[in-house]
Structure 1
Amino acid sequence: MTTLDVAETHPACTVLGPGSRYVVWVQGCGIGCAECVSPQWIPFDHTRARDVAELAADIAEHATDGLTISGGEPFAQAGAVAALVAAVRERRDLSVMSYTGYTIEHLRAHGTPGQHRLLAELDLLVDGPFLAHRQAALRWRGSANQRLHFLTGRHAALRDAPDLSAGLQIEVAADESVRWLGVPPVAGFRQWIENRLELEPLEQKQERNP
């Protein structure tokens, strides 16, 4: 049985890739970007393991336009993530996008076999570490050094689209807790909104800005 350490999932995110996407945030990252907006997803935690086959079935059932993998660091569990994508595509031919704090050049030159397999499965990749001093309001990215790579022709029509922030998706749960998804277009967003609402730290679901 192949497992993947998963921090969180969401079946219908509209701000982390084209259309409405099922998002999987993996648990664990060894890169350590300063001012990471998802510090709770940095520690590796094998108690959060999910069966890949079961997760793939859920994704195939609920995803609308595609699958986005974020975290955490997806390429830290590249073999399991590649297995997840393959299992999903046995059921549905979904668009797949991933984030990574590594550059694509590093992964191609120095990546493990699992990392190479994952790269081969992707339609879109956002690469590079999040750099707080280069925070920018860009499409699906948090800082100006991060790049959006079109690895297949599936989303070729988006190449010339305006490179503007996709915004944030704000949700209020039945218990009145607030959650947000997406890439903050301004620095210090998490701290600002937690202070503004005078709440305990929000349960937030967003791209980690690797």
Structure 2
Amino acid sequence: MTTHLSVARTLDHCAVLGPGTRAVIWVQGCPLRCHGCVAAETLPFEGGTARPVAELADWLCGLSGVEGVTLSGGEPFSQAGALAALLDAVRERRPDFGAMAYSGFRYEALRRGDPDRRELLRRLDLLVDGPYVAARHGSLRWRGSDNQRLIVLGDRYAHVAAEPDTSAGIELSVAADGSLSWAGVPPTPGFREGLEEQLAARGFVLHTQARRNG
């Protein structure tokens, strides 16, 4: 069993990457190269921080005011075994903890994937699938382009299928050291470049880790 995850970034509270308020884990490494990816720094498998699954489980279980975790990246299904183990470890202590993931692979391909991918899929409540396609960018709920699907995999979030399919927006965060970062799926193409230019003009440097479109 894989005991570590290669992690690009974590966020303890986020309201724009899934239902309610959630923790987010961005993994490091993705085999896909979607044109227009807004988090290209998460694509190389080199880099990131090796984090023990047990440590991440303790972190998630210790968070108050969150109903679940969203797995992003990078490509979560490239580290499916460790993420399945993480969800199991969390649910031993918090059985009602929700799980959502993004993947550049289609749901049908994941269902035919190796055992680790199938096990992670089995533990999810929601999946956003498919690669980001810049030409099909849309202002959609939790998705970057209209080829991507929001797939309900259990009863926990069955209600989201009936809710408005409009952008959840973007969140900006200021860390204790004064650094800025953001999370969310941009409602417009070119969002990241435009934001960085505007902030740079005012003397701010934006931390580059964010949710990728696809």
TM over 0.5: yes
Offset of 1:167 from its aligned partner? 0.3
Q: Following superposition of structure 1 onto structure 2, how do residues 40-79 of structure 1 map, counting pairs within 5 Å?
A: 40-45=41-46, 48-62=49-63, 64-79=66-81
| Unmatched segments (≥5 aa) in structure 2 | none
TM-score normalized by the length of structure 1: 0.95
Tell whether the 8 Å contact from 1:182 to 1:205 is kept in structure 2 after alignment. no
Q: CA–CA distance in 1 between the matches of 2:48 and 2:139?
A: 35
Equivalent position of 2:38 in the other structure: 37
Offset of 1:146 from its aligned partner? 0.4
* Partner deviation per Cα, 1:22-51 (whole Å, 9 max, x = no partner): 100000001111111001111113662110
Offset of 1:72 from its aligned partner? 0.3
What secondary structure, in the 3-state scheme, does the structure 2 residue paired with 1:50 have? strand
Indicate how the Cα distance of structure 1 residues 47 and 13 shifts in structure 2: closer, same or farther if over 3 A, else same: closer
Q: Following superposition of structure 1 onto structure 2, how do residues 1-210 of structure 1 map, counting pairs within 5 Å?
A: 2-45=3-46, 48-62=49-63, 64-93=66-95, 94-109=97-112, 111-198=113-200, 202-210=206-214
Q: CA–CA distance in 1 between the matches of 2:114 and 2:32?
A: 16
Q: CA–CA distance in 2 between the matches of 1:42 and 1:61?
A: 29
Offset of 1:157 from its aligned partner? 1.7
Offset of 1:202 from its aligned partner? 1.7
What secondary structure, in the 3-state scheme, does the structure 2 residue paired with 1:145 have? coil
Tell whether the 8 Å contact from 1:181 to 1:204 is kept in structure 2 after alignment. no
RMSD between aligned residues: 1.5
Q: CA–CA distance in 1 between the matches of 2:170 and 2:204?
A: 20
| Unmatched segments (≥5 aa) in structure 1 | none
* Partner deviation per Cα, 1:97-131 (whole Å, 9 max, x = no partner): 0000000011112x010000000000000000011
Offset of 1:201 from its aligned partner? 5.5
TM-score normalized by the length of structure 2: 0.93
Tell whether the 8 Å contact from 2:41 to 2:209 is kept in structure 1 after alignment. no
* Partner deviation per Cα, 1:163-203 (whole Å, 9 max, x = no partner): 00000111223333221110000000000011112257621
Tell whether the 8 Å contact from 2:98 to 2:125 is kept in structure 1 after alignment. yes
Q: CA–CA distance in 2 between the matches of 1:71 and 1:200?
A: 24
What secondary structure, in the 3-state scheme, does the structure 2 residue paired with 1:16 have? coil
Letter of the 2:83 partner, please give it: V
Letter of the 1:103 partner, please give it: R
Detail structure 1 runs of 4+ shifted over 6 Å in the superposition: none
